[in-house]
Structure 1
Amino acid sequence: MKKMIIIVVALLNATYIFAQKNIFIASDLTKEGEFTNNCEGPSVDKDGNIYAVNINQDGTIAKVTPDGKTAVFLTLPNGSVGNGIRFGAENIFFVADYTQHNVLKVDLKTKQVSVLAHVPTMNQPNDLAIMSNGTVFCSDPNWKESTGQIWKVTQDGKAELLVKDMGTTNGIEVSPDEKILYVNESVQKNVWAFDITPQGTLTNKRLLIKFEEGGMDGMRCDAEGNLYITRHGLGIIDIVSPQGKLIQNVKMKGKLTSNICFGGKDGKTCYVTLQDRKCLETFRSINPGREWKMMRKFK
């Protein structure tokens, strides 16, 4: 019996060491070339399926199984083209529609698409962050002028401009305790932090980190509050602590990393959209994602 226990422990240790050696190593999830060069999103439902925008042609949303099988989930109506996707309930996700100035609401079961908020004064809704109460924050860049804004959209569709006169706002995320909103500026290479007030407004803007090279696109928090930032053009994911320290970078196979989400059975599998390779890549992380943990409450 003692020998059997020793063997089992040794096997468990070997499995753990093997798993640790294989974290932060990128591999393909989908075939190269299945998406357009506007491949973006992505977000994961409670069953582990990944949803990403613009498969085969712009204006579509793909459903990707955890083993990489792709299919067109739906085509957005009225000339809409999606960018960021976020789940807000078990069977509901939201889409930033940058051509029609909308935040769209999609029913996972019926595939019905409705407009949560239409804001003509939005430049181009880009990416979304969501709180557990359903409040959506939206980045809104003006690429031509290298400026940007931040909007809030409530579950009843009321939109409020929270911050203006920023740089090209792009990636946006909420901290695990929902007290901080992070927003990056792609052209200016800044990541900003704001305190979220109980009323859902933003205050106490401060610089979290500034990069000297490369762009930025989407970003997500893990459950420990670390930011996973897609460095568009550099082909890496930079992992930044809540204190603004660069603690890890993950080398991807492609260069144009556009967005990231967490999924898998334990929430520690990262899925990354690559615009140059027009596919999704994946790697394992140490911590589960914030949004993945939030989705567990919907079960």
Structure 2
Amino acid sequence: MKRLITALLTLSATVALGQKAQIPYVARDLTKENMFSTNIEGPNFDARGQLYVVNFKHDGTVGLISTVTGRGNVFVTLPDSSIANSIVFDKSGNMLLADFIGHNILKVNMKTRNISVFCHSDRFNQPNDFCINGKGQLFASDPNWKAGTGQIWRIDTDGTPTLLDGNMGTTNGICLSPDEKTLYVNESVQRKIWQFDISAEGNISNKRLFAEFPDFGFDGMKTDREGNLYVTRYGKGTIVMITPEGEIYREIPLKGKSCSNLVFGGHDGRTVYVTLQDRKCMEYFRAEIPGKGL
């Protein structure tokens, strides 16, 4: 909390001195409306600072989006009617995609744009969202929307999947704490956010309830460098910011209501880019604290 107050005071001083600074936590449009399908999701940056977002123009694509102009183009089109829902980059720079149609984790070679299957399991419901640690291990949410249940998987660097928890609600947003010792997983329908401890091997334990809300849904979420959790409140059109102690610090209003995911980026890591499924576009806002790992 003290660091948050310090950041606010620093920003206020910058504005008072007349330096150029955008007002924090005010949403603005990055792209025009209707540039994506209703499945717009999974924004992420590669090592060069380029922004990629799934389902650009229509389902089954990955778009490369300019953070300067808001314009974009199709980077790859997925084979076999696959539709991606999340993007991460591995240690070698390959793009990994959660393909909820094919029950796959796909791998895209960024130089050749060749697409291959990195991991497949018939036990997957529909891989939804995932995060990656410094060792290259993936942690994936895997909801069954019809049954209202969900799973959590770990996928190791050789593509081997390990079921970590098969007794969850509709698992959706998933992310790591800055020290990568805690895993956060939310359940969209049940509106709960859970914490797990992570072992050195990548196993999870000590499941405990971190936060619970009485209304609306959850989708993607991320942490900042100080461990604050930014959670999309799907249907309400806000990003709720929760401290590591589980206290709501602020709620950031967006223009659209169906916010599906977010990512930190920009030259200083303090610009938050959000995907909106109802507007089929992207919005962004400035934050005081950079994202995890930036």
Report the TM range for the smaller structure's normalisation.
Answer: over 0.9
Partner of 2:238: 236
The match for 2:73 is 71
Q: Does 1:24 align with 2:25?
A: yes
**Matched residues in 2 for 1:178 and 1:189: separation?**
23
% same residue: 49
Give the Cα separation in 1 of the matches to 2:238 and 2:122. Answer: 34
The question of 1:14 aligning with 2:22 is answered: no
C-alpha separation in 1, matches of 2:99 and 2:246: 30
In the superposition, the TM-score normalised over structure 1's length comes to 0.91
The residue number in structure 2 matching 1:199 is: 201
Distance of aligned partners of 1:49 and 1:144 in 2 relative to their CA distance in 1, 3 Å threshold: same
Amino acid at match of 1:117: C
- Structure 2 CA distance for aligned equivalents of residues 272 and 93 of structure 1: 19
Deviation at 1:165, TM superposition (A): 1.3
Please list every run of 5 or more consecutive structure 2 residues that lacks an aligned counterpart in the other structure: 1-12
Amino acid at match of 2:67: P
Structure 2 counterparts to residues 267-282 of structure 1, below 5 A:
267-282=269-284
Letter paired with 2:239 = I
SS in 2 for 1:217: strand
Residue 297 (structure 1) aligns with = none
The letter for the 1-side match of 2:161 is A
Aligned 8 A contact 1:46 1:90 in 2:
no
Looking at structure 1, the residues matched to 112 and 17 of structure 2 have their Cα atoms a distance apart, in angstroms, of: 46
Please tell me the residue identity of whatever aligns with 2:174.
I
Q: How do 1:46-85 and structure 2 match up within 5 A?
A: 46-67=47-68, 68-85=70-87
> Displaced runs of 4+ in structure 1, greater than 4 A?
10-13
CA distance in 2, matches of 1:170, 1:114: 24
SS in 2 for 1:79: coil
Is 1:107 paired with 2:106? no
Larger displacement relative to structure 2 (154-163 or 21-30): 21-30
Aligned alpha-carbon RMSD (Å): 1.5
Other-structure match for 1:296: none
How far residue 11 of structure 1 moved from its aligned partner, in angstroms, is 7.9
Question: CA distance change for structure 1 residues 284 and 121 in 2, over 3 Å: closer, same or farther?
Answer: same
Instruction: Please name the residue that 1:37 is paired with.
Output: 38
Q: Which residue identity is paired with 2:285?
A: F
* Deviation digits for residues 183-221 of structure 1 (CA, Å, limit 9, x no counterpart): 000000000000001111100000000011110000011
- 1:24 partner amino acid: Y
Where does residue 3 of structure 2 map in the other structure?
A: none
Question: Which residue of structure 1 aligns with residue 249 of structure 2?
Answer: 247
Number of the residue aligned with 1:222 = 224
What amino acid does structure 2 have at the position aligned with 1:285? A
Instruction: Give the whole-Å Cα distance in 2 for the aligned partners of 1:76 and 1:53.
Output: 10
Q: Which moved more, 1:265-274 or 1:49-58?
A: 49-58
Q: Distance in 1 between matches of 2:164 and 2:233?
A: 26
Displacement after TM superposition at 1:70 (Å): 0.8
Counterpart-to-counterpart distance in 2, 1:85 and 1:15? 38
Distance in 1, Cα, partners of 2:93 & 2:133: 16
TM-score using structure 2 length: 0.92
The answer for the alignment partner of 2:118 in structure 1 is: 116
The match for 1:135 is 137
Residues in 2 aligned to 1:121 and 1:207: alpha-carbon distance in whole angstroms: 26
Aligned amino acid, residue 121 of structure 2: V
Structure 1 unmatched runs, 5+: 1-9, 294-299
Residue 218 of structure 1 aligns to a residue whose secondary structure is strand
- C-alpha distance in 1 between matches for 2:284 and 2:16: 24
The answer to whether the 8 Å contact 1:48/1:65 transfers is: no
Residue 223 of structure 1: SS of its match in structure 2? coil
Number of the residue aligned with 1:208: 210
CA separation of 1:107 and 1:244: change in aligned 2, threshold 3 A: same
Q: Is the 8 A contact 1:91 1:109 kept in 2?
A: no
CA drift at 1:89: 3.0
Amino acid in structure 1 at the alignment position of 2:50: N
1:156 aligns with 2:158: yes
For 2:209 and 2:286, locate their aligned partners in 1 and report how far apart those are by CA, in whole Å.
29
Q: Deviations over 1:104-148 (max 9, x none)?
A: 111222211111100111000000111011000000000001000
Q: Could you tell me which amino acid in structure 1 is paired with residue 205 of structure 2?
A: T
Classify the secondary structure of the residue corresponding to 1:160. strand
SS across alignment from 1:216: strand
